[in-house]
Amino acid sequence: MKKICVEEHWGSPDMEEIRTQWRARTGFPVSMDPKALPLIPPRLRDFEQTRLPLMDESGITMQVLSTSSPGVQGLADAAGAIAVARKINDDQAGIIRKYPGRFAGLAAMPTQDPKAAADELERAVTQLGFKGAMILGHTNGEYLDHEKFWIIWERAEALGVPIYLHPAEPLVDQIKIYDGRPEFMGPAWSWGVETGTHALRIIGAGVFDAFPKTTLILGHMGEMLPYMTVRIDEGYEMTFHKKKLNKLPSDYIRENIMITTSGKYSAGALLCALRELGANHILFAGDYPWVTPKEAVELIERVPMSETEKEMIYHGNAERLFKL
């Protein structure tokens, strides 16, 4: 069965410099122990020695590539972000051309300048053949619900491509709750809370009322949202509203959001997502190189589902969404 992975990272040399600058500027603590992840840096950069053989071993037809954290969002100034995003996208396009049929791409976005980000998205889609964009969290503390960013949603809808919202570190002034418990910073908890909340902000601002054909992708089995739909709706009805939506939050989660299986998750979590969202809103992903293709496939194979559902998750939904 054809298999298309949609959250698979590569190590642009520019990312190392961005990460260094971001840590120096923000003073944010390191949330992952490098000693626990010795294979990650070389696998991010390599394609021929490890990535492609592992893909072939597990029957992965294609990976949809994107850069790693903190992404272009880690830069402070707009001019630098615009130049670096363009370079990263051109480099990624070169990788895709070098290995025909094995890779597609999501664009890096210089969200420090929303108009420039929208223009770069259009260039990446129309000239480089990319299938959408990946944005790695907030930009200098600003989230994508702000109306200054709506030009990005407008352009994505016009181009018919999705925006993938990837986890990022919260703002430094929001990490007090993790004092003394650094093990829950990063992948264990804070990334999911940060990204799920970011998605709720986008819903609450009315982005999907304004741009109803827009698709937001959330990785890591939906960043907790599929398992909280009833509580989110119940609480939304009880509280004050800055902007009254046309629908309940869960309606947008089911209609405008697609989730991916990226990461190491239980069969029970995927079963819950299948029942809450349906197979037509779930995309196959591994989160390479943090998760190997073999581990990503094993998750799907552990879950009881029909062959039709499996076809949709493994490749059908990606082909439809990304026009592959």
Q: What are phi and psi of 135, to 5 degrees?
A: -115, 130
User: Which amino acid is it at 195?
Assistant: T
Residue 254: how many CA atoms within 13 Å on its side-chain side?
15
Compute CA 230 distance to the chain's CA centroid, rounded to the nearest angstrom: 24
**Which of 144, 142, 141, 148 minimizes the C-alpha distance to 133?**
144
287 is catalytic: yes
Select which of 14, 113, 145, 287 is catalytic.
Answer: 287
User: Which amino acid is it at 124?
Assistant: A
CB atoms within 10 A of CB 56: 12
Compute CA 95 distance to the chain's CA centroid, rounded to the nearest angstrom: 20
- 206 conformational bin, left if phi > 0, alpha if psi -120 to 50, beta if neither: left
> For residues 156 and 117, is the Cβ–Cβ distance under 8 A?
no
Q: How many residues does the chain have?
A: 324
Where in the sequence numbering do the catalytic residues fall?
Answer: 287
